[in-house]
Structure 1
Amino acid sequence: MTDAKTISDTNKAALAQAKAQGVKIVICTGRPLIAIKDYLAELNLLDADDYSITFNGGLIQTNTGEILGKTAMDLADVKHIYQLFVELNLPTDVLSDALSFQLASSTDRPSLYPTMNKALTYVTKTVEVLEENALYNKVVAATEVDYLDQQIALIPAEEYERFEIFKTRPNLLEFMPKGVTKAFGLSVLGERLGIAANEMMALGDEANDLSMITYAGVGVAMENATDGVKSAANFVTGTNQADGVAQAIQKFVFDEGGF
């Protein structure tokens, strides 16, 4: 995807040709399915046997909405993260499928999340009214980059033992249930489809992509990826502005005849 959040014609053509050859094109994202529906339609990935991994591996589903696997947080975890964000003076958004519950955990920093995911419905709540049996997919903090990085440095080490914690954009920090990553999502979907890890290619650029980059048989980092992702990858392709996805598909799917 380009910096303007569009898909180039070259990338679309490569993805369409790969799908026509039987390759499964799976979008792996931190977002809910509703937030990527337009991209799925643009890529002709709305059939019953098209799949996405959403919420960073928390949901594995068909693109028609059937849930194949789900791992969510419990209310105690949500409350724990909320209290941590209060201490760090970070804004809180709690994702519940297509809803985002906004909790007032910061005294002076409104959440930037509504500017980043406009497909969601935002609801202001207090932590006291959250229900025990509600769906809680993840908890995020969206604020200015420099301030976020400063506060991340203050997160106690034991939090990383309890949750999956990573940035998915420079100004977005996410907390997920422990063990739930994009690699976890790929393993669940791969078992369902009979596709082994060494038959997969994963492409990514941010910290939440690192697990699948190392899990897949071919891990591909975009040239604009973080240093950690690039160092873990088997191959570095072009940037998101230079049809890097199409370059990787050409090299590993078309030129080499598949995995």
Structure 2
Amino acid sequence: MSKIKMICLDIDGTLLNSRHQISKITKEVIKTVSNDKKIPVILVSARMPKGILFLQEELQIKQSIICYSGALILDESRDVLSKKIISVYDLEKLYKLVQCEKVHMSLYKDDEWYIEGMDYWAKQESDITNITPNIVDFSELIKLWKKERTGPNKILCMSEAGRINSLKEKIGDYDLNIYPSKPTYLEIMPKEASKTSAIDVLRRKFNIKQEEILAMGDNYNDMDMIEYAGLGIAMGNAPDKVKECANKIALTNDEDGVAEAIREFVFGDD
């Protein structure tokens, strides 16, 4: 096996335990691998920058980050390396459909989160991420984005599982990257955005070979990067379908799976 030269970690369900925390042992291992061994540890998530940067600070690392499942990449100086957006016209059609379906819609652009009202779903997401959204009129925001010829990096729809499944079926023919991150969450990204495409941008930036990448994740939107990496690892808490595409299965996120995998497959290379 080639020596690992870049580590790509999903956040929720992977880096974070079920209490949405990074364990002490995981912090220590990541700090050592990033700062002492000089191996880039890249946090890869559907989250916005604000939801990732505070975790970097907690880990005491400074690296590029992959946000919105690859739709936005920031370098270590927080400059934009790559950005992809959803067409404002697709957003307009989705907004009308979501209103009919009575599903919550959140819009994310750059490092801002927009909602139309602080309902149950927005409050839940705000409590998890510790981020306060901007409350705006989406019709007015869509008009503004049309003038600016721009759009969101990500749309998040939240509701009961049945409504989410119904919505997913109705927007299946849109030319977008659509997937449920959990039964009550439907993530919508630009078609060309993926965790793998973003990792490949950083692979070229660091002049690293594909087989020198270790990637870890726990959910369906992590499958592409797990399959892409030279060493793709699924968390012990991942669904069976995710585990099937991995080279190795780690312990769960409540058993320090990330720390133990890095110890075995990165420190073990010494």
Question: TM-score, length-normalised on structure 1?
Answer: 0.87
Gaps of 5+ in 2: 1-15
Residues 129-208 of structure 1: pairs in structure 2 closer than 5 A: 129-130=141-142, 131=144, 132=146, 133=148, 134-144=150-160, 146-152=161-167, 154-159=169-174, 162-208=175-221
Match of residue 232 from structure 1: 245
How many Å separate the matches in 2 of 1:14 and 1:193?
21
Match of residue 129 from structure 2: 117
Deviation at 1:148, TM superposition (A): 4.5
Q: Is the 8 A contact 1:91 1:109 kept in 2?
A: no
Q: Is the 8 A contact 1:30 1:168 kept in 2?
A: no
Gaps of 5+ in 1: none
Q: Is the 8 A contact 2:104 2:121 kept in 1?
A: yes
Among 22, 36, 39, the alignment partner of 2:52 is 36
Deviation at 1:152, TM superposition (A): 4.7
Partner SS for 1:65: coil
User: CA-to-partner distance for each residue in 1:6-26, whole Å, 9 max, x for gaps?
Assistant: 111111111122111121100
Given the superposition, is the C-alpha separation of residues 219 and 76 from structure 1 closer, same or farther in structure 2, using an over 3 Å criterion?
same
Paired letter, 1:205: D
Q: Relative contact order (C-alpha < 8 Å, sep 6+): which is higher?
A: 2
Question: TM-score, length-normalised on structure 2?
Answer: 0.84
How many Å separate the matches in 2 of 1:123 and 1:103?
5
Paired letter, 1:248: A
Percent of aligned positions with the same letter in both sequences?
Answer: 26
How many Å separate the matches in 1 of 2:128 and 2:170?
24
Q: Is the 8 A contact 1:114 1:122 kept in 2?
A: no
How many Å separate the matches in 1 of 2:231 and 2:162?
35
How many Å separate the matches in 2 of 1:255 and 1:125?
54
Match of residue 29 from structure 2: 14
Runs of 4+ aligned structure 1 residues displaced above 4 Å come to: 108-112
How many Å separate the matches in 1 of 2:215 and 2:44?
9
User: CA-to-partner distance for each residue in 1:85-115, whole Å, 9 max, x for gaps?
Assistant: 23433211111223222248xxx98645434
| Structure richer in helix, relative to its length | 2
Deviation at 1:192, TM superposition (A): 1.3
The count of corresponding residues between Structure 1 and Structure 2 is 248
Partner SS for 1:45: coil
Q: Is the 8 A contact 2:164 2:186 kept in 1?
A: no
Partner SS for 1:154: helix
Q: Is the 8 A contact 1:60 1:185 kept in 2?
A: yes
Partner SS for 1:173: strand
Q: Which moved more, 1:191-200 or 1:113-122?
A: 113-122
Given the superposition, is the C-alpha separation of residues 240 and 189 from structure 1 closer, same or farther in structure 2, using an over 3 Å criterion?
same
Deviation at 1:229, TM superposition (A): 1.4
Match of residue 11 from structure 2: none
Given the superposition, is the C-alpha separation of residues 247 and 179 from structure 1 closer, same or farther in structure 2, using an over 3 Å criterion?
same
